[in-house]
Amino acid sequence: MINRGLTVDLANELNDSAHIVIKDMKEGVAQSQDIHEQAFVPLKPATIKDKARRGMPDPGKPLVGTSQMTGVFNAPGTGPYLKKKATASSQLAQISAPMKKAPYGFHHQEPSIEGRPPTRRWFGVSRTAERQIVKNIQATIRRLIDAR
């Protein structure tokens, strides 16, 4: 019988959400799209040439190089990671970028006065990720209501 409010512990869903966001960021970079789902500013020919010379994979793709920053294409670099896991007592999941290994991630994220490098917002929560997260949380709540 439904008598009281639901006991809602969404720690698992929050951690799942964090993984959705991380995956979405990596997919975005792999597809050369920013967190607003717009195409990245293309690289200049000289940059592509330089990246090719240094043997970087996919030299034509912006933000894909050593893989330390974004960790795309199953490369050795981790890219964004789950810094803090949500628990029952602390319903907070934190995602961070590898700021020690790839501090330049910040330069790509934010506009610089000189305009170089061009802003490519790769870190954040896209609407696609948000929709997926809300869908997952709704599914969990639906299961909780059904179980009553």
Partner 1 sequence: MPVEDTIEIIDVTQEIDSATMIVNLKINGAVQKTAIDLETLIGTMRTSGATDDAIRQVLMEDLEKGGRIFGSLRTQFRATGDFAVGRMSNIGSISAMSESGVKEYVWQTAGNKICPDCKSRSGRIATWNEWETIGVPQSGFSVCGSHCKCSLVITGTQQAPMKLPV
CB of 74 to partner 1, least distance (A): 22
85 Cβ neighbours under 8 A, 6+ residues apart: 11, 15, 18, 93
Q: Which residues bind partner 1 (CB under 8 A)?
A: 1-8, 10, 14, 17-18, 21, 43-47, 50, 83, 86, 91-97, 99, 103-114, 116-118, 123-125, 130, 133-134, 137-138, 141-142, 145-146, 148
CB of 76 to partner 1, least distance (A): 20
CB distance 64 to 73 below 8 Å: yes
| Residue closer to partner 1, measured from CB, 31 or 91 | 91
Number of Cα atoms under 13 Å in the Cβ half of residue 62: 19
CB distance 98 to 78 below 8 Å: yes
87 Cβ neighbours under 8 A, 6+ residues apart: 11
CB of 75 to partner 1, least distance (A): 19
CB of 92 to partner 1, least distance (A): 4
How far is 60 from 53, CA to CA, in rounded Å? Answer: 12
| Residue closer to partner 1, measured from CB, 8 or 39 | 8
